[in-house]
Structure 1
Amino acid sequence: MAETATQNASIALYHYLCQYIVGSEENVKTIRMMSTARDNLQSNKTWTVITSGSLGEGLMMRGSDLDVMLVSKLIEVCEGTNVYFNANKTYFTLEMEDTQPGFTKLRLVHSNGRKILKYCDEIGSNFYCSNLSFKQVFPFDMFSTLHGTCISDRDGLLDFAYCLHSKLWITPAKQWVTRSNNSWPRYDVKQAIVKHGVLFVAVGVKGSSQEELEWRISFSVGEKLLMYSFTHTQLLCYALLKILLKFVIVLDKDCKELLCSYFMKTILFWICEELPSSIWKPENLMYLVI
């Protein structure tokens, strides 16, 4: 009886979320298609535009801002220097020996001009890309607030994050490709993520002695593709975790700074790897969240 009541409550919650909070599977697909179309129209020869955050994942929830990643097409990052260099592009290579996990410094290895040097700090005989100088490319009269990795507008509704791109998957992340033996994520999803490569966001470790020279390694596009591979039940679980965080957890002053929606997403990714795909059904929604 108790199990049946929980299943019925889960199905009722599923339909409520579909109708009033998240939308149906078709609604989510439409939001994603619109975001992709907008990104393609706004991208140009210099920048690739990628809508990230909840909207990029297909969630239009109350209070969500618009997160946009601007990825330079004129600069590439490579893990080694034994690669083919396009003479018209600038290349940086990774230096992770003295940085915390998840961060790297970017050392200049090739450029077709000296213009890039105004975004670099010279250390010895090498030049390293400064994340602070790189962010200042943006017109600060319109977007005047530095907000972590992003530059925000005055109202805090629009966040831009400057990024650089490596077309190749990097060595520290190779273990992820073979880690999961379960059915999620599917092989084709993994291959699409690896094929895209890795992003580097203009922010360092807060308080680090070389904070302005560090760049955060980002798998935002990969995470977006993982979200796209979710069943609707998995997506609703994520939405419920975001609601729990925003309207319950952050109201406790002792917990307010401990968790963020990114942690919730990462936890859900781990759970999806561990649990069989067959369990992600509407009638299990409350059990899965609790």
Structure 2
Amino acid sequence: MSQDPDYYRTVSLKLSEVLCDIGVNERMLLKRRRVYLLMETTFTSTQRLLRENIFTFQFGSRSEGSTTIGLHSDIDTLICVRTLIVIQNWSEWQLGRHNLLMIQDETTSPGYCILQMLRDDEPLPISISIPDHITDRTYTVIRGKVLMKNTCFRDIPLAGSVVNGPASSRQGSPCYADQDYVVAYHCKSWPVEAQSWLVRQGIGKWPSEEMKRYCETTGCFVVPVSSKNSQHEELEWRLSTAQAEKCLMFSLNITQLRCYILMKMILKTFINPQFNGALSSYMCKTVLFHCIQNTRSNIWVQSNLLTCLMCCLTVLQNFVREENCPHFILPKNNLMAERISPCNKHKILEILHDILQGEGRALMEIPIDDLGRRLKVKMNMDEAFQYYPTPSHIHTQISTELLLSTSHTISLSHIHVLQKLNLDGNAIVRDNLSNFMSTLTNVYRKMGFNRLEKYVLKLITPMFSSSLGSVIASHDIYTTHSISPEALSWFSFGLNSDVASGGLKLASALYCVGDMERAELVLRNTDENYDLNTVEPVCQCNNRDWFYQRQGFMHKCNTGNEEVLKHYTAFCVRFLRCEICCVPKELQSEMFRSTQEDRLERDEMFDNWMDLAVVDSLPYLYFLQYKTYGALQRMADQQCALENLVTSIETESKLGHKETALNLLGQCMEQEKRQIDALHCYMISLNTQARNNVANFLICRLLNEIVSMQRNTPS
């Protein structure tokens, strides 16, 4: 087959077609990158508006677009702590800040440093007389220098996570990606040992001088992990040029990205299962960077994909043979140091040799994304098999997952802000939310027309508007038994957050103030817009296993952008305790769901919604209709709403707060004098969530009423 002079070109073009089919194409690449930039900007904008001392960055394959569905890439999140700054020389020291001096000497490994703690009142080292509040988990003293330990974060991993080197890893459910969180400090200046990279030039004339100038402005991070052969295991910090590398990845063309993805598939199929991850995808990225820099740019085209892949594998083979994979920007840092045993080295070289000699035949054995079988079909070496997903289905799946990730980020941003601003007292929360919205509005107005951050603020503003409107309305109802124009104005701004949640918050307030006619109108409009075949429920309170997405929603995702979220998603509805006057009494008890014992069972990071009343939009719509129609004496409509509430709980598979919906249904059943049905609802609710569930109280109350009724019934 390889005797054919056009063999490499033919395989390259067919391989490019296969990769395009499985989502490695310009359209999906731009979608992936845009969504992860939106997610990163959403988190960072929210943190900046809250004046928090952390920034969040998204790195890795998902944010770069260098992945496929079958590679199951992690979500890599770097949390940059801004309470401390890292400096490389004394001229960078800042008054009033916690400064750490980066030290690199003969005792530190290349690409690593140690951090010396400095005074914040003058540019001098902290003396040996350590303040009492600093514990030995944070520092140690060596030769009179107070040095920061890299274990300062590791002893307090994120809730529900497992420590893995510098990262806290949180395993995803079957339909969510695993997440790696790395906490780091930032150094504004470019690493000294990377200065030579700024002037290094290769045959490919890549990176360009403009890219290098940008990379230099990104500085670097210091990550809490030491090298394999460190003399000071608890003191070394790794230098990370992740921001610069992201810039490099964004400059690559589609052939270069496809080459990188193929290398990762080869590692995952033929090497890492046998050798416990001896080679990493980061090494593949490094190999690719070296190859691009040292080859002419005109070879990186679709018709040369196989040739480019063989070139990269040859370089990887040489790196393994020499046991040295030099970091692209910090070349003295050997990424393979202490990673490959002599026995494994020989076997890995054999595998790479066989793949190279096979001239691409090994690709036909790759099961990831059915790559091998798809390539055989393209090469007319196998009959077409009908059961694998079509390109259209794959592209739709990717688009759907990306837009759902965006909606989840908006939801997380909302709950994060509520948690930060939720202090005791309506007036304080109102002031906090008002100040937050004022700051958000001012920042929005000052931004340029096409700024990504401006677009993000436009996406997140409506949910906060609804919350502020509800806080104001709750105070209005408590003091004047009415809803002020100011509250209604904020409610109006919040109506386009999604299909339902903004309208339901307004309808809830109108119901509580007794304005049943307007409440019914809002509920009717919400009901008309809520297409059960298209609208996708969104809840980030519980990380539950949800596989199914509606075909109508998936179609909208494939043909639209983030605007789809406003018209085809339904966020859960959240009420702070200070919004209690806007909450029907049946839902108010959800704000007090936890006993002291229950609180001990909470996940501090991911159960922060449990002091709120939170309910999914669809069952809350039907519950409010039941209550409103009852108040309007429209009994037939009320019974229809009750039937819809029952049906939504039984058939909607993506309820994040099913226990709350069951609790509301149970209370409706009590009002219908159907106590046994009510008890049944509460019992199912407890089976759904045993702890932190107000059903425990509702059952006790109901049983007490039943016993009292029996006592008062004449024998």
Aligned-partner Cα distance in 2 for 1:237–1:81: 44
Displacement after TM superposition at 1:137 (Å)? 4.5
1:7 aligned counterpart, secondary structure = helix
Deviation at 1:4, TM superposition (A): 2.0
Partner of 2:238: 216
**2:84 paired with 1:75:** yes
The farther-off stretch of 239-248 and 91-100 is 91-100
| Distance of 1:115 and 1:38 partners within structure 2 | 40
How far residue 183 of structure 1 moved from its aligned partner, in angstroms, is 2.1
CA distance in 1, matches of 2:157, 2:100: 21
Given that residues 135 and 162 in structure 1 are in contact (C-alpha distance below 8 angstroms), is that contact kept between their aligned partners in structure 2?
no
Please give the secondary structure, in 2, of the residue aligned with 1:221. Answer: helix
1:29 is aligned to 30
Counterpart of 1:160? 181
The verdict on how the C-alpha distance between 1:116 and 1:276 changes in structure 2, with shifts beyond 3 A counting, is farther
User: How far did residue 275 of structure 1 move?
Assistant: 0.4
Q: CA deviation at 1:174?
A: 0.4
Q: Output one character per residue of 1:170-201: Cα deviation in whole Å (capped at 9) or x when no partner.
A: 21110111112442111221111111011111
Task: Identify the residue that residue 21 of structure 2 maps to in structure 1.
Answer: 19
Q: Residue 104 of structure 2 contacts residue 113 of structure 2 at CA under 8 Å; is this kept in 1?
A: yes
**Cα shift at 1:82:** 2.1
- Find the partner of 2:198 among 146, 170, 177: 177
Corresponding position: 1:270 with 2:290:
yes
Secondary structure of 1:212's aligned partner: coil
1:131-159 CA-partner distances (Å, limit 9, x unpaired): 111333444x322x111221112559111
**AA aligned opposite 2:239:** I
Q: Which of 282, 286, 289 matches 2:306?
A: 286
The CA deviation at 1:3 is 3.2
Equivalent residues of 2:108, 2:231 under 8 A apart:
no
Instruction: Please give the alpha-carbon distance, in whole angstroms, between the structure 1 residues aligned to 2:182 and 2:112.
Output: 16
In 2, the alpha carbon distance for the partners of 1:258 and 1:227 equals 23
By how many angstroms is 1:120 displaced?
2.3
Contact 2:66 2:260 in 1 (8 A): no
SS in structure 2 at match of 1:73: strand
- Structure-2 separation of matches of 1:68 and 1:147: 14
Deviation readout 1:89-136 (Å, 9 max, x if unpaired): 211111111111111100012337969834222335432111111333
How far is the alpha carbon of 1:207 from its aligned partner?
5.9
Secondary structure in structure 2 of the residue aligned to 1:133? coil
TM (normalized to structure 1)? Answer: 0.90
Query: What is the CA-CA distance between 1:289 and the residue it aligns to?
Result: 0.6
1:220-242 per-position Cα deviation (integer Å, ceiling 9, x unaligned) = 11111111010110000000000
Task: Provide closer, same or farther for how the CA distance between residues 166 and 55 of structure 1 changes in structure 2, counting only shifts above 3 A.
Answer: same
Q: Could you state the TM-score of these two structures normalised by the residue count of structure 2?
A: 0.38
> Percent sequence identity over matched residues?
25
Q: Are the counterparts in 2 of residues 10 and 283 from structure 1 also a CA contact under 8 Å?
A: yes
Q: State the 1:161 CA deviation.
A: 0.6
Matched AA of 1:102: G
Contact 1:81-1:109 at 8 Å conserved across structures? no
Against the structure 1 CA distance between its residues 115 and 57, is the aligned structure 2 distance closer, same or farther, given a 3 Å change threshold? farther
Q: Retained in 1: the 8 A contact 2:102–2:116?
A: yes
Q: Distance in 2 between matches of 1:188 and 1:102?
A: 24
Aligned length: 284
Name the structure 2 match of 1:129.
148
Structure 2, unpaired ranges of 5+: 311-715
Further displaced range: 275-284 or 101-110: 101-110
In structure 1, C-alpha distance between the alignment counterparts of 2:248 and 2:132, rounded to whole Å = 37
1:96 aligns with 2:115: no
Aligned-partner SS, 1:121: strand
| Contact 1:162–1:202, Cα closer than 8 Å, also in 2 | yes
Q: Which secondary structure does the structure 2 equivalent of 1:203 belong to?
A: coil
List gaps (5 residues or longer) in structure 1: none
Secondary structure at 2:15's aligned position in 1?
helix
Identify the structure with the greater strand proportion: 1
In structure 1, what residue type is equivalent to 2:288?
L
1:227 aligns with 2:249: yes
Q: Alignment partner for residue 219 of structure 2, among 189, 197, 209?
A: 197
Out of 87, 112, 116, the residue aligned to residue 107 of structure 1 is 116
- Preserved CA contact (<8 Å) 2:94 2:120: no
Bigger mean CA deviation after superposition, 95-104 or 232-241: 95-104
User: Does 1 or 2 have the higher relative contact order (CA < 8 Å, sep 6+)?
Assistant: 1
Contact residue 54 and residue 81 of structure 2 kept, 8 A: yes
Structure 1 pair 127/4, CA: closer, same or farther in 2 (3 Å)? same
Q: How does 1:229-244 map to 2 (within 5 A)?
A: 229-244=251-266
Aligned 8 A contact 1:91 1:109 in 2: yes
Shift, 1:2, TM fit: 2.4
CA distance in 1, matches of 2:238, 2:284: 19
- Please list the CA deviations of residues 202-229 of structure 1 after superposition, one character each: whole Å capped at 9, or x if unmatched: 1112463421111001111111111101
Relative to structure 1, the CA distance from residue 187 to residue 178 in structure 2 (aligned partners, 3 Å threshold; closer, same or farther) is same
Task: Assess, with a 3 A threshold, how the Cα gap between structure 1 residues 110 and 11 changes in structure 2: closer, same or farther.
Answer: farther
Measured in 2, the distance between the counterparts of 1:86 and 1:39 equals 30
Contact 1:70 1:161 in 2 (8 A): yes
Contact kept? 1:233, 1:281, Cα under 8 Å = yes
Question: Is 1:78–1:166's contact at 8 Å kept on the other side of the alignment?
Answer: yes
8 A contact 1:75–1:90 mirrored in 2: yes
Shift of residue 50, structure 1, vs aligned partner: 1.0
Partners of 1:49 and 1:146 in 2: CA distance = 19
Q: What CA distance in whole angstroms lies between the structure 1 residues aligned with 2:166 and 2:148?
A: 15
Is the contact made by 2:154 and 2:166 (CA closer than 8 Å) also made in structure 1?
Answer: no
More displaced stretch, 111-120 vs 122-131: 111-120
1:147 and 2:164 correspond: yes
Match 2:73 to one of 52, 59, 64? 64
Question: CA–CA distance in 2 between the matches of 1:178 and 1:197?
Answer: 16
The equivalent residue for 1:120 is: 139
Residue 245 (str. 1) matches residue 252 (str. 2) = no
Q: Distance in 2 between matches of 1:136 and 1:111?
A: 25
- What SS does structure 1 have at the residue aligned with 2:79? strand
Contact 2:84 2:99 in 1 (8 A): yes
CA distance in 2, matches of 1:137, 1:48: 18
* Structure 1 counterpart of 2:5: 3
